[in-house]
Amino acid sequence: MHKAPQGRSRWTLASLAEALPWLKERSLACVWKTLKRLALVYKRGRESIHSPDPDYDLKLAYIEAAKAQSFASDGQVVLLYQDELTYYRRPSLARAYAAQGQKEPKAALGLSSNKKRRISASLNWQTGAVFAQQLHRFGVVQLKRYYQRLEAAYPLAQRIYLVQDNWPVHRHPELLDFFLTSRIQPLFLPTYAPWTNPTEKVWLRLKQELLHLHPFEDDWLGLQNAVQTWLEQWLSGSKTLLHSVGLTPY
């Protein structure tokens, strides 16, 4: 459709009728019915972002080539998608089943101050194994230790491709120096392209199954333990998880 009239970001039935001579003398109900016949409906928008990275296709091609290496290497080459997430003591709002009527599902906020926790996780694109750690924060020092533990978790791998986003800490000189002497080789995703990292859907599943409307209220330690238990269920790999993040068709 054309741009909305000056001073507005969206069309209304009245402004559409004003802009289209053949609808000008019609009632708003008639305008609505006409739009419906034309398959034009009033619906919720969706957040959208387009990666500006000029090397978008090239970076994804490098990742696909690394996947091919790992697929043919019999475990000597591994490819992992890595990402971080922050979660909070207070539950996030979401839809849930409840009885009809005026009472909605409640997100109990508790009485203590809100707290946050960081998770770093690496998803094996072939097995669905998730190697995760949660801490108060992930800076350069904490990430370096995490990478060392990650490397130790794959003792038979000669090379570990680690696919990451462009968070500045990932490119810190100290971490890049560490990679030079380790079996880990970072591969960076296109900028502003979270849809290219399947680990984002691991976080989505964590939110859907645990963090949305969680019942822990002020039991901050209980929530942390529940998150840890959730993460550890994927430690040995899962075809179900691979399917839910879009890495396998079934």
Are both 160 and 192 inside the same structural domain? yes
Confidence of residue 245 (pLDDT cuts 50, 70, 90): very high
What integer pLDDT is reported at residue 4 of this predicted model?
Answer: 67
Are both 24 and 85 inside the same structural domain? no
Confidence of residue 6 (pLDDT cuts 50, 70, 90): low
Are both 117 and 236 inside the same structural domain? yes
Q: Could you read off the pLDDT of 104-154 as tens digits, one per residue? A: 888 999 999 999 999 999 999 999 999 999 999 999 999 999 999 999 999
Q: Could you read off the pLDDT of 173-202 as tens digits, one per residue? A: 999 999 999 999 999 999 999 999 999 999
Strand order in the sheet with 184-188: 130-135, 116-124, 77-88, 159-164, 184-188
Are both 126 and 36 inside the same structural domain? no
Integer angstrom CA distances of residue 152 from 38, 139, 160, 174: 60, 20, 11, 19
Are both 64 and 181 inside the same structural domain? yes
Question: Measured at the alpha carbon of residue 155, what is the angle toward residues 141 and 139, in degrees to the nearest 5?
Answer: 10
The CATH number of residue 190's host domain is 3.30.420.10
Residue 169 lies in a domain: yes
Are both 142 and 34 inside the same structural domain? no
Tell me the whole-structure pTM to 2 decimals.
0.85
Residue 5 lies in a domain: no
Residue 51 lies in a domain: no
Q: Which of 38-47, 63-72, 119-128 has the lowest mean pLDDT?
A: 38-47
Are both 114 and 157 inside the same structural domain? yes
Residue 71 lies in a domain: yes
Are both 162 and 182 inside the same structural domain? yes
- Please state the domain count of the chain: 2
Are both 85 and 138 inside the same structural domain? yes
Residue 249 lies in a domain: no
Residue 189 lies in a domain: yes
Are both 20 and 70 inside the same structural domain? no
Q: Which amino acid, residue 53?
A: D
What integer pLDDT is reported at residue 113 of this predicted model?
Answer: 94
Compute the radius of gyration of the chain from its Cα atoms.
24
What integer pLDDT is reported at residue 121 of this predicted model?
Answer: 98
Q: Which domain holds residue 23?
A: 11-45
Are both 19 and 83 inside the same structural domain? no
HSE of 7, CA atoms in CB hemisphere, 13 A: 1
Residue 31 clears pLDDT 70, i.e. is over it = yes
Residue 3 lies in a domain: no
Are both 76 and 119 inside the same structural domain? yes
What integer pLDDT is reported at residue 171 of this predicted model?
Answer: 96
Residue 225 lies in a domain: yes
